[in-house]
Amino acid sequence: MMLTRESNIDQERLTGLLAASAEMVFSVMLKEQPRAMTPASKADGDVLHDGIISFIGLAGEWSGTGSVLCSGAAALSLASRLLLIEAKAVDQEVLDAVGEITNMIFGNFKDCVESYFGQLSLSTPSVIYGRHVRARDLPSALTAIAAVECGGEPIELKVCLSPARKSTSGAGVLVSSRYNGLR
Amino acid sequence: MAISHEIAADLSRDAHPKSTETKNENMDFLNILIVDDSAAIRKVLIRVLRQTELPLGDIREASDGQEAIEKLEEASAGLILSDINMPNMDGLQLLSRIRSEKRWKHIPVIMITTEGSKSSVLQAVELGAQGYVRKPFTAEQIKDKITSCMRNCRQ
């Protein structure tokens, strides 16, 4: 099924590329071959989650968000294997490790999909840790979710992309005027 | 589109013929400056470097280009491993600054980054990077890149 007129990639292919990017990062950096599994989240549903959600922005002709969702136990396991430490609490070091894994997964994913979506840029990741965190993605043209099991813990990966809205010259003038006014 | 490590290495060799300013003793005990805003990646790189059995001297860390400049002001380095995307001063700005300073322009710089786009690689090479390694990386990739980079610089 082709999802949009602008991109000629189907959801199955997109999900496969997402899972493949995660598998590559886990196998190279964590020396573990993750097992693909069925994601628990729905593409159009809210997420109510205890644990970690790591977000990274994608921007270009298409823009959107990539995210990694996992439990605190999974984050400890990821950080321990990445840093070769015995992480016992979800601290800055663990969150930093999850953020970097997010960066690598979506960095590779970005390279895989640029032939479909045009050149994309990545933001720096933001990592959230808490209980009863409710996350919601606004409707996007294209959403793909993949899940892998790594160290016995499920890790979900999600990407939401839409064609970027073109800025108008009027908006640029407005911003310039505002800055000029302040100065 | 992703660009292979080999292509990047070829680009680097083409764009940067041998530096005659790098001292041979750099490879005797290699003092390395790692520049990355992720503490996790800096830690992983240090671990990987220690696995390579390269003749390592001091390994210092900086979290962005600005801090890297401050570290270089304190003491120069035999090699810089730098991320591209960083706050304050990114890897390309750092590279440009290093190449514009006579006292540092001989220092080999290898970019280690998730940025795989050809334009980023070309920009880094044009600015004077000697090599390029994609994240995720293995110890072997780091070792091979450093070895070939230092060999090219010695010639």
pTM: 0.79
Q: What percent of chain B has pLDDT over 70?
A: 79
Q: What is the CATH number of domain B5-154?
A: 3.40.50.2300
B56 near A CB under 8 A: no
Contacts of A56 in chain B (CB under 8 A): none
> Which residue reads 């090219």 in tokens?
B152
Quick one: average pLDDT of A89-113? 94
The domain ranges of chain A are 11-182
Quick one: average pLDDT of B121-133? 90
**Confidence grade of residue A43 (pLDDT, cut at 50, 70, 90):** low
Interface predicted TM-score (ipTM)? 0.72
Contacts of A76 in chain B (CB under 8 A): none
Alpha-carbon distance B155 to nearest alpha carbon in chain A (angstroms)? 32
Alpha-carbon distance B74 to nearest alpha carbon in chain A (angstroms)? 27
A27-31, A37-41, B17-21, B26-30, range with the lowest pLDDT: B17-21
| pLDDT exceeds 60 at position A180 | no
A55-59, A122-126, A175-179, range with the lowest pLDDT: A175-179
| pLDDT exceeds 90 at position A74 | yes
**Confidence grade of residue A2 (pLDDT, cut at 50, 70, 90):** very low
Q: DSSP letters along A92-104, please?
A: HHHHHHHHHHHHH
| A–B CB contacts, 8 A cutoff, strictly below | 61
Centroid of chain to Cα B56: 15
- Closest C-alpha to A33, from A148, A160, A183: A148
Length of chain B: 155
Strands annotated E in chain A: 35-37, 47-60, 62-70, 120-122, 126-135, 142-150, 153-163
User: Position B83: which residue type?
Assistant: D
Q: Judge: B40–A112 Cβ closer than 8 Å, yes or no.
A: no
Q: What percent of chain B has pLDDT over 90?
A: 55
- Closest C-alpha to A101, from A129, A70, A143, A73: A70
Contacts of A29 in chain B (CB under 8 A): 44, 136-137
Beta strand B109-113 with B131-134 is parallel
B142, B47 contact by CB (below 8 A): no
| pLDDT exceeds 60 at position A63 | yes
B86 to chain A: closest CA residue = A124
Q: Which CATH number fits domain A11-182: 3.40.1550.10, 3.40.50.720, 3.30.479.10, 3.40.50.620?
A: 3.40.1550.10
